[in-house]
Amino acid sequence: MVKLRLKRAGKKRAAFYRIVASDSRVKRDGEYIELVGTYNPINGAVDLKNEIALKWLQQGAQPTDTVRNILSKAGVMTDLHNSKLDAKKAAAPKAKVKKAAAPKAATKKAAAPKATAKAAEPAATTEE
């Protein structure tokens, strides 16, 4: 599984992180697939490539908690949510038209004969 996570760089007590897309089985500072951005926790500076981050999220990459917070503040998670809603709206009208026409008529016709058959059976048993 691909994860969006922080890769540590910088010297002791002066951390600097790269936001990368990497395989979850690779160690923290190991190889990565693609560089998404950088994060400096000392001054809070974030340099992010929004299009690349959105691409990986749409392909199913799972961000770690800290990266999710960084992406949320940058507005990438909102963009992901909006793109999913747009895709759902585009697919929804086609599905609703097919379902709405046939089932209503079929259920009324099928329900009526069963109800009359049940009503006729108790009447026959009381006459005997």
- Backbone Cα Rg of the chain: 29
We report the CATH number of the domain holding residue 104 as 3.30.1320.10
**pLDDT band at residue 12, thresholds of 50, 70 and 90?**
very high
What's the average model confidence in pLDDT over 87-111? Answer: 63
User: Do the domain assignments include residue 125?
Assistant: no
Instruction: Tell me which residue of 83, 58, 79, 78 sits closest to 4, measured CA to CA.
Output: 58
User: Do the domain assignments include residue 128?
Assistant: no
State the Cα–Cα distance between residues 63 and 70, nearest whole angstrom.
10
What tens digit of pLDDT does each residue of 19-76 get? 999 999 998 888 889 999 999 999 999 999 999 999 999 999 999 999 999 999 999 9
What's the average model confidence in pLDDT over 79-94? Answer: 86
**pLDDT band at residue 125, thresholds of 50, 70 and 90?**
low
Number of domains in the chain: 1
Task: Please state the length of the chain.
Answer: 128
User: Do the domain assignments include residue 124?
Assistant: no
User: Do the domain assignments include residue 127?
Assistant: no
- The token pair that represents 125 in the structure block: 């048993």
User: Do the domain assignments include residue 41?
Assistant: yes
Position 109 scores a pLDDT of 57
Max distance between CA atoms of the chain, in angstroms, equals 97
User: Do the domain assignments include residue 75?
Assistant: yes
Position 76 scores a pLDDT of 93
Range of the domain at 111: 1-119
Instruction: Tell me which residue of 46, 19, 50, 48 sits closest to 35, measured CA to CA.
Output: 19
User: Do the domain assignments include residue 37?
Assistant: yes
User: Do the domain assignments include residue 35?
Assistant: yes
Contact present, 6 and 39 (Cβ < 8 Å): yes
State the Cα–Cα distance between residues 76 and 41, nearest whole angstrom.
19
